[in-house]
Each structure stands twice: as C-alpha cells, then as structure tokens.
Structure 1
Amino acid sequence: MTITQLHYVLAVAEHKNFTKAAQKVFVTQPTLSMQIQKLEEELEVTIFDRTKKPIQLTEVGEKIVQQARNIVNESDRIQDIVDQQKGFIGGIFRLGVIPTIMPTLLPMFIGSFIKKYPKVKLKIEELHTEAILEKLKEGHLDAAIAATPLEVEGIKENVLYYEPFVPYIPQGMQMETSDKITVEDLDINKILLLEDGHCFKDGIINLCKASRDYGDDQLQLESGSFETLIKLANEGLGMTLLPYLHTLDLKESEKENLKMFQDPIPAREVSLIYNRSELKMQIIEALRSTIAGVVKGAITFQNVKIISPLNKKKEFTTN
C-alpha cells in the first residue's frame, strides 16, 4: 500500500470516473486503474462498484476512503512540520470565502498579504457556506472565511472580527424614532433579503426571530447581491440590512439612509475556519494576523450581540 495509491482512490471517489480522476492526478487512466486494482488485490476487497454509472463506493470502500483521507492528511503534515521548522511560509494555499464577505474584505487585506508573503500562492474561491464545509472536509480547501458559529465537528473556528448589521431604510420608510433603532422596529415582511444559500439571510431571519410570511404580498423578491437590494430599496420597494463593511463604500446620498441599532448592536461573527488537522498553520496564522490588522481600524464596535447563522438562532453578547 502506498500514499500514491490512496491519492488515486480519493480522486476516483471524488470524480466517480476513472478518466477524470486520472486527469486530476496527472497520470494515464490505465496507470491509475492498475494501481487501484493492485490495492484492492492486496486488501482482498472491492473498493469501487464499477458496474454502476457513475462509479460508486462499496460499503467497505466508504470506510477505506475515510481512512485514506486521514492518512493523506497526516502524510502532508510531515512536509508541513519541515516548513514550520524552517520558518517557511509559502506554497499553494486554497482559501474559500462566502459571497457576502468576498467583495468587501478581500480588497482590504489581499494586497498587503501578497506583498508580505510573496511565496504563498493563493487560490481563492467564492463559495456558499455549505460548499465550503464540504470542500474543507474533502481536503480541497486549506481554510475559509465564513460567518460563525457553525459548530461542525472536525472544523475549527478562529474569530477574526464582529461585523454589525446596518439597517438601510429609504427616506419614505423612515421611522419616527431616535437616530438608533431596535430590532423590534423592523418588520421582516418589509425587508428585502438575499436569496437562499446566503448565511447573511439566515442571520437576518434569526435576528428578527421570524420566518418570512409572504402571505398575499404583491412582490416577493430575493436577490443575490446587496447592490440590487439597495437599488430596490431606493425605489421604495422595501428596506434591507447590510453588513457594516459594505456600507463604507456607499455613495454619500445613500449613507443618509443608514441607521444604527441601539447597544448591544446585532452583529455577525466572521471567522477563519479550517480542518482540525491544522495543516499549513503558519499560513493560516499569517492570514489571521494580516486580516486582524486591517480590520481593527475599520470596525471599532465593542458592545455587540452575535447573531448566529444557525437555525438554532443562538445569540451571544460580547463587550
């Protein structure tokens, strides 16, 4: 049994196709098939059911793949130990970022990170939380930036910052309140939301402690971008909530539509998440320190109430 054979098994398990798996690991399809067959003969089991289309794992194959993933991760740790011993911060690093964080946070830190760590080759993907967790589990991402807490077994969460929810209320819908509003002032049925799959939408629903009740609404609309929500709000079609960093780039005329919550301010927790195997920790720590350095000056709120993206609707208060 070799590490190379286990890499081949993991590739076939992922792609469910020998040809695509061979392309992924840069060998010919006959070579990959022969090595997997040799492993099956050595173990005296069948890992893949080749009679099914696409190829499926057998019952014992499922267990073998799970253990193979652990072994490959641990073998990668050897090089990781050597890199850390040498103080080397470099190599390919695959980072996932959720869509509601990518456009605001990435420009804030990416330039300084690349300049400070020129040997790190970042590969960044914009992914929803569900896809991020799946790719972390399968080893296709080294880390990710997402809204937490997620409470997923095997995933560690390192908090980067707390980002307030900021109501965007056009002039025609302004409430007769003081400069700051409360959660009770919001009507979930008048809030324009992001489409399903965005954890920011889940956070808003949890914040309002309600499920959307469309009833007989004339307009039922959800969008994939904050820009669209802002334009619709400007047309008098509702109000919305924005993450604080997104409000920094608004036009001055649009900033007049912003309101702040009373303390404790509802906020989302943003964390750097990674597999418990803690591979490439030197790069993860470099990312954490770089992001913390640039965000510290942008977000200075202290008394916040953390709104969880989980369906459990947990809340946490920090001072």
Structure 2
Amino acid sequence: MTITQLHYVLAVAEHKNFTKAAQKVFVTQPTLSMQIQKLEEELEVQIFDRSKKPIELTEVGRKIVQQARNIVNESDRIQDIVDQQKGFIGGEFRLGVIPTVTPTLLPMFLKSFTQKYSKLKLKIEELHTSAIIKKLKDGHLDAAIAATPLEQENIIERVLYYEPFVAYAPKDHKIHEHENILADQLDIDEVLLLEDGHCFKESVLNLCKTSQRNDLKNYQLQSGSFETLISLANEGLGMTLIPYLHSLKLRESEKDNLKMFKEPVPVRAISLIYYKSELKMQIIDALQQVISGIIKGAIQFQDVKIISPIHKK
C-alpha cells in the first residue's frame, strides 16, 4: 500500500469516474486503474462498485476512503511542519470566502498580500458557509473567511473584525426620516433579504427577532446580491440591510439613503476559521495580520458600544 495509491482512491471517490480522477492526479487512466486494482488485490476487498454509473463506493470502500483521507492529510502535513519550522510562507494555500465578504474584503487586501508573499499560491473559492465547513472537515480547504460564531466542533475561529449593519431606506420609506435607527424599529415584512443559503440573511432574521412574514403582502422578494436588493428598494419595494463595507461602494446619491444604527450597534463578526489540526499556521498568522491592519482604517467603529455578534440558528 502506498500514499500514491491512496491519492488515486480519493480522486476516484470524489469524481466517481476513473477518467476524470486520472486527469485530477495527472496520470493516465490505465495507470490509475491498475494501481487501484493492485490495492484492492492486496487488501482482498473491492473498494469501488464499477457496475454502477457513476461509480460508487462499496460499504468497506467508504470506510477505506475515510481512513485514506486521514492518512493522506497527515502525510501532506510533513512538509507543513518543515515550512512552519523554517518560517517559510509559500506553496499552495486554499482559502474559502463567503459571498457577502468576497466583493468588499478581497479587493482591500489581496493585492498587497500576494505582493508581500510572492512565493505563496493562494487559491480562493467563493462558497456558502455550509460548503466551507464541509470542505474544511474534508481537508479540501486550509482556511476560510466567514461570519461567526459557527459553534462547530474542531473548527477554530479567529475574529478579524466586527462589521456593522447599515440600513438602506429610500426617501419614500418611513425609516428614512430618522437620522439614526434602532434594531427594534425594523419590520421583517419590509426588509428585502438575500436568498436562502446566505448566512447574512440568517443574521438579519435574528436581528429582527422573527422570520414570520405578513400574509397580507402579495409578494416575497429574495435575491443573491446586495445590488439587486438596493435596486428593488429604490423602486419602493421595501428597505434592506447591508454590511458596512458594502455601503462604501454605493453611489453618492444612494449614500443619502443609508441609516446608521444607534448604540448598541448590531454587527456581524467576520473571522478566519480553520480546522484545529491545521499546520499552516504561519500563513494563517500572515493573513490575519494583513487583513486586520487594513480593516482598522476602513471601519471606524472601534470605540462604540456594539450588540454581540448574532448567533446563527
């Protein structure tokens, strides 16, 4: 049994196809098939049911894959240990980022970070929180940037910054007349929300203390982007909440519709998260240092009283 064979098994288990798996690990399909067959003969079991389309794991195959993933991950960490000892910041680092953070945070730090650590190959993937957690646990991500707290076993959370909520209410909305607002003034029936799957939506629902909608309203609107929500609000279909950093990107005419919250200000915690056994700590430390340094100049809410970060349901 070799580590290479286990890599091949994991590739087939992921892609459920020998040809695609071979492309993933950069070998020919016959080579991959032969190595897996040798492993099956050595173990005297069948790992894959080749009669199914797509290929499926056998019952014992599922157990083997689970253990193979642990073995491969641990073998990959040997180089991580050496790099950490040397203080080397380079190689590949896989980072997940939630969609409500990607358009605002990445432009702020990515260029300076990659220039500072030019030997690092940063692979960034935009994912919803549930997918991030799964990929962290499966070893397909080294770290992620997400809204916390997540309360996930074995997931470590390092808060990067607290981002305030900002209300967007056009001139014809009743909240617009207020210079500042309180969370208690929000009516969930009037708040335009992101679609299901976005943790920001859950934060807003928790902030409004209810997820029940008024049956008298003859439409329900949800979208995948803040830009769409703002456009809908401009058409008189309600108001919405956006993260503070996103509000900085609005046109000057739209900024007149922004309403800040009175203290205590509701916020969401944006954190760098990673699996507890992660060894690329020198890269995680570097990410935290660069992002925290940049964000302090962008969010001027360091000294105000805030509402504790909103827990997800």
Question: Do both share a fold (TM > 0.5)?
Answer: yes
- Could you say what secondary structure the match of 1:118 adopts? coil
Residue of structure 1 in register with 2:252 after alignment: 252
Distance of 1:176 and 1:309 partners within structure 2: 28
- Report the aligned-residue RMSD: 1.7
Distance of 1:26 and 1:61 partners within structure 2: 23
CA gap of 1:174–1:46, structure 2 versus 1, over 3 A, is: same
Q: How does 1:1-319 map to 2 (within 5 A)?
A: 1-175=1-175, 179-302=179-302, 303-308=305-310, 310-311=312-313
Distance of 1:260 and 1:229 partners within structure 2: 18
The count of corresponding residues between Structure 1 and Structure 2 is 311
Q: Quote how far apart the aligned CAs of 1:136 are.
A: 1.9
* Greater mean deviation of Cα atoms: 75-84 or 126-135: 126-135
Q: Quote how far apart the aligned CAs of 1:226 are.
A: 0.8
Q: Quote how far apart the aligned CAs of 1:138 are.
A: 2.4
* Greater mean deviation of Cα atoms: 265-274 or 169-178: 169-178
CA gap of 1:308–1:55, structure 2 versus 1, over 3 A, is: farther
Sequence identity of aligned pairs in percent?
A: 73
- Could you say what secondary structure the match of 2:299 adopts? coil
Distance of 1:112 and 1:300 partners within structure 2: 21
TM-score by length of 1: 0.92
Distance of 1:249 and 1:213 partners within structure 2: 30
- Could you say what secondary structure the match of 1:151 adopts? coil
- Could you say what secondary structure the match of 2:211 adopts? coil
In structure 1, what residue type is equivalent to 2:74?
A: E
Q: Quote how far apart the aligned CAs of 1:287 are.
A: 0.8
Distance of 1:288 and 1:103 partners within structure 2: 18
Q: Quote how far apart the aligned CAs of 1:277 are.
A: 2.0
Task: List per-residue Cα deviations over 1:114-137 (Å, max 9, x = no partner).
Answer: 111111111212111122222222
Distance of 1:155 and 1:217 partners within structure 2: 41
CA gap of 1:47–1:291, structure 2 versus 1, over 3 A, is: same
Distance of 1:122 and 1:138 partners within structure 2: 19
Is 2:47–2:60's contact at 8 Å kept on the other side of the alignment?
Answer: yes
- Could you say what secondary structure the match of 2:172 adopts? helix
Is 1:47–1:58's contact at 8 Å kept on the other side of the alignment?
Answer: yes
TM-score by length of 2: 0.94
CA gap of 1:119–1:188, structure 2 versus 1, over 3 A, is: same
Is 1:9–1:36's contact at 8 Å kept on the other side of the alignment?
Answer: yes
Q: Quote how far apart the aligned CAs of 1:174 are.
A: 3.2
